[in-house]
Amino acid sequence: MSNLSVRERLAIAPQEMPVQEPAVRVKNMREVALGYTEEQAKTEAGRCLACKNAPCARGCPVGVQIPRFIVEIQKGDFKAAVDVIKETNLLPAVCGRVCPQEKQCQLECTVGKSLKSVEKAVAIGRLERFAADWERENNRETLPAKAAPTGKRAAVIGSGPAGLTAAADLARAGHDVTVFEALHKAGGVMVYGIPEFRLPKSVVSHEINNLAAQLGVKFETNFLAGRTGTIKELLEKEQFDAVFIGAGAGLPKFLNIEGENLVGVFSANECLTRANLMKAWDEEQAATPAVKSRVVAVIGGGNVAMDAARMAFRLGAEQVHVIYRRTRDEMPARAEEIEHAEEEGVVFNFLRNPAAILGDEQGRVTGMELQKFEIGEPDASGRRSPLPIAGSEYVFECDTVIVALGNEPNPLLTKTTASLAADKRGRIVVDATQKTSLDAVYAGGDITQGAATVILAMGDGRRAAAAINKLLG
């Protein structure tokens, strides 16, 4: 394909991702997207114009050299492709599946701009996934070389995307790295928050095992920072030379309306953690199987809301509704996730918001009082503001309510760490290098940004690791 003209490349049709049929996948936990074949990958890669100024790479928070790896796929050298990706991103199988490429690298793609549609941009994320999966499935996995030991020790709090990225870059620089994880399994939000049907846990564990086996990163689970041990103890008692905090944002937001304490009201965090980490969907094996619901209402419009809604069907719900106070155009969830939810039978109730949750004499959810909204002018974020319509309230019957309105950091860490500056929402304050108000302590990911994306958290981890490497010499 190296001799194709720009016109010929633009004429190549985008390759559709093979997926499980909706009626089949809604009854299992297997991955929905099945991945490109080798021919599909090479054809999709052939659409890339290999722009010398690489606008797509500038749109990547971790700076993957996208045209370089896509050219290798065009040539059929899939190992060379993934090696290019791993120069800056050691979690390509994860990022290829869950990153919002349509808002980052693919948004900047020249092909998409030429065809006036981001949906027709080169499918960079799918190609990244293909290369990573090919390497794993063909037992060709390698990581970039590790520098000679420096004698310095770095502690990483949290094993989510920010923590793993920082740990990898610190270990590659030759430092002795230990990752401390609060739960009994490493992986953070990638393990407890993102469902199996979107990100198989075997993929995450494989990436983590590689960090341990090839880079020597050590993992200590069941370590709740601020309770099991403090940052001060890590620095002084355990004699770590630097600490990176990537503990995420695990404190769910609620509506603060009447009825939120009724039986049958859950946070999306609880539902997804029980399903993903504790396998609540497995009725025969799970120690804490899910309660059967008839009609589930999910409040929110982001990716977590889509995950919770789609999981509800797989846990046996008869009907699943998403309640969102804006329109589809304002939904922050990825378009692909919204489409998959619709295909699986999720019903979207736009321009609606709960005014109260209703219950029976036993304290169990029976429904919600919903109010209708109309869309107004854009707010400070640029999204159009929803305005309530007076007298439009009505009762919506359901027996389960899942609140998916985002998360804030757990205050435990900031409350147990003297002089660690945080803002009014509890997010740790950092400078441009991710340094906190404490010497030798850095932070990144959701604990500094609020709920963000995997790739943005990874970008924080890379910046912090670069600063720590400079600090440690």
Query: Model confidence at 165, in pLDDT bands (50, 70, 90)?
Result: very high
Are the C-beta atoms of 15 and 123 separated by less than 8 Å? Answer: yes
AA letter at 315: L
State how far the Cα of 421 lies from the Cα of 438, in Å rounded to an integer: 8
State how far the Cα of 273 lies from the Cα of 287, in Å rounded to an integer: 13
Structure tokens given for 115: 């065809």
State how far the Cα of 178 lies from the Cα of 242, in Å rounded to an integer: 11
Query: Model confidence at 283, in pLDDT bands (50, 70, 90)?
Result: confident
Q: 389: how many CB neighbours lie within 10 A of its CB?
A: 12
Are the C-beta atoms of 448 and 456 separated by less than 8 Å? Answer: no
Give the pLDDT of residue 183: 94
Instruction: State the average pLDDT over residues 187-211.
Output: 94
* Helical pair 161-172 and 201-215, crossing angle rounded to 10 deg: 20
Going edge to edge, which strands form the sheet with 176-180? 218-220, 176-180, 153-157, 242-245, 441-443
Tell whether the model's pLDDT for residue 383 goes beyond 70. Answer: yes
Tell whether the model's pLDDT for residue 286 goes beyond 80. Answer: no
Instruction: State the average pLDDT over residues 50-60.
Output: 95
Q: What is the mean pLDDT of the chain?
A: 94
Instruction: State the average pLDDT over residues 433-437.
Output: 98
Are the C-beta atoms of 378 and 384 separated by less than 8 Å? Answer: yes
Structure tokens given for 101: 């490429």
State how far the Cα of 264 lies from the Cα of 365, in Å rounded to an integer: 6
The answer for residues whose C-beta is within 8 angstroms of residue 165's C-beta and 6 or more apart is 62, 90, 91, 457, 458, 461, 462, 465
Domains, the chain, in order of start with CATH, read 6-137 (1.10.1060.10), 153-250+408-472 (3.50.50.60), 254-405 (3.50.50.60)
Are the C-beta atoms of 426 and 449 separated by less than 8 Å? Answer: no
Give the pLDDT of residue 10: 95
Highest mean pLDDT among 55-69, 274-288, 376-390: 55-69
- pTM score above 0.95: no
State how far the Cα of 392 lies from the Cα of 374, in Å rounded to an integer: 11
AA letter at 154: A
Residues counted in the chain: 473
Query: Regarding beta strands 319-324 and 347-350, do their DSSP bridges make them parallel or antiparallel, or are they unpaired?
Result: parallel
Structure tokens given for 372: 């209708």
Q: CA torsion sign, 19 to 25 to 29 to 30?
A: negative
State how far the Cα of 158 lies from the Cα of 224, in Å rounded to an integer: 9
State how far the Cα of 66 lies from the Cα of 58, in Å rounded to an integer: 9
Are the C-beta atoms of 172 and 195 separated by less than 8 Å? Answer: no
Q: Over the stretch 320-363, which tens digit does the pLDDT of each residue have?
A: 999 999 999 999 999 999 999 999 999 999 999 999 999 999 99
Integer Rg of the chain from CA: 23
Query: Model confidence at 1, in pLDDT bands (50, 70, 90)?
Result: low
Instruction: State the average pLDDT over residues 234-242.
Output: 97
AA letter at 101: Q
39-44 CB contacts, 8 Å cutoff, 24+ apart: 40/15, 41/15, 41/73, 41/78, 41/127, 41/130, 41/131, 42/1, 42/73, 42/74, 42/76, 43/12, 43/15, 44/14, 44/15, 44/122, 44/123, 44/126, 44/127
Residue entry with tokens 């039978």: 345
179-188, 306-315, 377-386, 453-462: range with lowest mean pLDDT: 377-386
Residue 403 phi, psi dihedral angles, 5° rounding: -95, 120
